[in-house]
């Protein structure tokens, strides 16, 4: 193919500056075979087209292409220039073409944001669930024992009377037995769990579900619920939901995805165990996990013939505790009422962040949606 080939375009009239003088020269510019030909009365040049700095078609105003020797060619006729460049076979980069189209820009931004968000919102929890569900029970038990060892460092033996502890244990076993039988009839096996009652000033009225099926109830929670064993059974049914869905394991996987996977592969848990206190302090069950555990508690309570309305009582007491504090946990001295403040939602969330025990029941502000859910379930 030579420069006279019909495939080479007829060329475009441009102003040529040689880069040394400010004098413009009228020349014809042609693009062919990857070369730029400049031909005029005093000009006859051939340049490699790819060594020319071509203008992007993103702005108005004259088109200026910079030549490698400091010269340039210019045209005020942008439409003619663009048509010439296109017919000359200079394909534009994808970016330039996208820049041409605002729709393209917006679409690619939206796609990027959506992908990132989807990966964060669904990808990680999904991956954590898949991994957690495949972790053998034996490993979960070992991890749970290690977590419990850490927790036992923060708690003391229960200060409740033996009768109070027994009443709680009995009420819970009754619900658990009825629920386990009902699940068996549905062909579902209830994972093993155990209840520990502990005293702790650090975590106040709370209940936790640890990996491996250990459920921990604090004395202060029993006190806050005025030893109402049905309400206590309700909170334990919720914690059992976390156990059944392996939320503790999921959270552990999610918080330390890589560290955990490598530890599991190599059978070395020291890495995970070092992170446990941090994990306990910072990890929150997601709202979705809380909803799953709430739904589970409704099922378990119904199996035992207990109205889910006990969960409404639970949330009301937690809300009251947020406003009135420790005064609710002690028998009130005669004639004095606890001093309670009006607490905004923001304040509740702030208190929430201050609390050390992210995993605990009381760590999520008792929100109206959850109360409504249990009210409806109780109908
Ligand atoms: Zn929960």
Same domain, 76 and 161: no
Query: For residue 221, what are the contacts with CB-CB under 8 A and spacing of at least 6?
Result: 205, 206, 207, 232, 235, 361, 362
What is the C-alpha to C-alpha distance for residues 217 and 233, in angstroms, rounded to an integer? 11
Query: For residue 34, what are the contacts with CB-CB under 8 A and spacing of at least 6?
Result: 48, 49, 50, 89
pLDDT for 80 equals: 87
Same domain, 171 and 73: no
**Is 69 within the bounds of a domain?**
yes
Ligand 1 centre and the CA of 362: distance in Å?
Answer: 8
In DSSP notation, 340-376 reads: -----HHHHHHHHHH-S-TTSGGGS---HHHHHHHHH
pLDDT for 3 equals: 40
Ligand 1 centre and the CA of 290: distance in Å?
Answer: 5
Same domain, 70 and 192: no
Same domain, 83 and 176: no
Ligand 1 centre and the CA of 51: distance in Å?
Answer: 64
Ligand 1 centre and the CA of 112: distance in Å?
Answer: 33
What is the C-alpha to C-alpha distance for residues 98 and 362, in angstroms, rounded to an integer? 50
Could you say which of 57, 92, 127 is where a domain stops? 92
Ligand 1 centre and the CA of 298: distance in Å?
Answer: 13
Ligand 1 centre and the CA of 81: distance in Å?
Answer: 66
Same domain, 53 and 145: no
Query: For residue 231, what are the contacts with CB-CB under 8 A and spacing of at least 6?
Result: 225, 310, 311, 313, 314, 317
**Is 4 within the bounds of a domain?**
no
Query: For residue 9, what are the contacts with CB-CB under 8 A and spacing of at least 6?
Result: 30, 31, 32, 84, 87, 88
Could you say which of 71, 92, 113 is where a domain stops? 92
Same domain, 222 and 357: yes
Q: Domain range for residue 25? A: 12-92
**Is 65 within the bounds of a domain?**
yes
**Is 111 within the bounds of a domain?**
no
Same domain, 254 and 341: yes
Residue 278 in contact with residue 204, Cβ under 8 Å? no
Ligand 1 centre and the CA of 361: distance in Å?
Answer: 5
What is the C-alpha to C-alpha distance for residues 223 and 74, in angstroms, rounded to an integer? 85
What is the C-alpha to C-alpha distance for residues 157 and 115, in angstroms, rounded to an integer? 48
Q: Which residue carries 């914690």 as its tokens?
A: 239
The strands making up 63-66's β-sheet, listed across from edge to edge, are 44-48, 35-39, 25-32, 12-17, 72-75, 63-66
Ligand 1 centre and the CA of 246: distance in Å?
Answer: 12
Ligand 1 centre and the CA of 157: distance in Å?
Answer: 23
* Number of domains composing the chain: 2
**Is 218 within the bounds of a domain?**
yes
Ligand 1 centre and the CA of 268: distance in Å?
Answer: 29
Could you say which of 40, 59, 92 is where a domain stops? 92
Q: What is the CATH number of the domain that holds 86?
A: 2.30.29.30
Same domain, 84 and 177: no
Same domain, 72 and 162: no
Per-residue pLDDT tens digits of the chain, which is 379 residues long: 444 443 345 789 999 988 887 788 999 999 888 888 999 998 999 888 888 888 876 666 778 888 888 888 988 888 888 888 877 766 555 555 555 566 666 666 666 666 666 666 666 677 777 777 777 888 788 878 878 887 888 889 999 999 999 999 999 999 999 999 999 999 999 999 999 999 988 778 889 898 889 999 999 999 999 999 999 999 999 999 999 999 888 877 776 644 555 455 555 555 555 555 555 555 567 778 889 999 999 999 999 999 999 999 998 888 888 888 888 887 656 556 667 777 655 655 555 544 444 456 665 666 788 889 999 998 8
Ligand 1 centre and the CA of 210: distance in Å?
Answer: 11
Same domain, 233 and 157: yes
**Is 149 within the bounds of a domain?**
yes
**Is 128 within the bounds of a domain?**
no
Same domain, 185 and 266: yes
Same domain, 71 and 146: no
The angle subtended at Cα 248 by Cα 168 and Cα 370, nearest 5°, is 65
**Is 141 within the bounds of a domain?**
yes
């Amino acid at each position: 193919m030579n420069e006279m080939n019909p495939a080479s375009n007829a060329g475009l009239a441009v102003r040529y500056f040689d880069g040394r003088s400010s004098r413009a020269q009228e020349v014809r510019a042609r693009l062919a075979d990857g070369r730029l030909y400049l031909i005029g009365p005093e000009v006859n040049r051939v340049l490699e087209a790819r060594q020319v700095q071509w203008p992007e078609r993103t702005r108005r105003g004259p088109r200026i292409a910079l030549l490698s020797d400091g010269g340039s060619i210019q045209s005020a006729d942008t439409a003619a220039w663009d048509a010439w460049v296109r017919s000359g076979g200079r394909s534009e980069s994808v970016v330039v073409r996208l820049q041409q189209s605002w729709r393209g820009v917006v679409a690619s931004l939206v796609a990027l944001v959506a992908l990132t968000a989807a990966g964060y919102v669904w990808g990680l929890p999904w991956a954590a669930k898949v991994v957690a569900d495949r972790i053998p029970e034996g490993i979960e038990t070992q991890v749970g024992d290690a977590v419990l060892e850490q927790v036992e460092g923060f708690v003391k033996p229960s200060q409740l009377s033996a009768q109070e502890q027994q009443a709680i244990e009995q009420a819970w076993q009754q619900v658990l037995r009825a629920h386990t039988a009902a699940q068996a009839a549905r062909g579902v096996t209830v994972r093993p769990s155990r209840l520990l009652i502990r005293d702790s000033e650090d975590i106040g009225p709370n209940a936790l579900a640890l990996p491996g099926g250990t459920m921990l109830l604090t004395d202060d929670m029993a006190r806050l619920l005025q030893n109402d064993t049905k309400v206590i059974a309700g909170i334990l049914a919720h914690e059992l939901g976390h156990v059944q869905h392996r939320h503790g394991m999921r959270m552990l996987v999610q918080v330390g995805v890589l560290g955990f996977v490598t530890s599991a592969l190599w059978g070395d848990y020291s890495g995970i165990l070092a992170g446990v206190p941090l994990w306990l302090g910072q990890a929150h069950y997601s709202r979705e996990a809380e909803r799953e555990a709430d739904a589970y508690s409704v099922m378990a309570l119904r199996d035992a013939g207990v109205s889910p309305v006990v969960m409404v009582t639970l949330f009301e007491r937690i809300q009251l505790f947020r406003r009135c504090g420790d005064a609710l946990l002690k028998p009130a001295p005669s004639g004095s009422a606890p001093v309670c403040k009006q607490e905004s939602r923001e304040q509740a969330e702030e208190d929430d962040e201050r609390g050390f025990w992210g995993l605990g029941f009381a760590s999520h502000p008792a929100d109206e949606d959850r109360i409504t859910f249990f009210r409806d379930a109780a109908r």
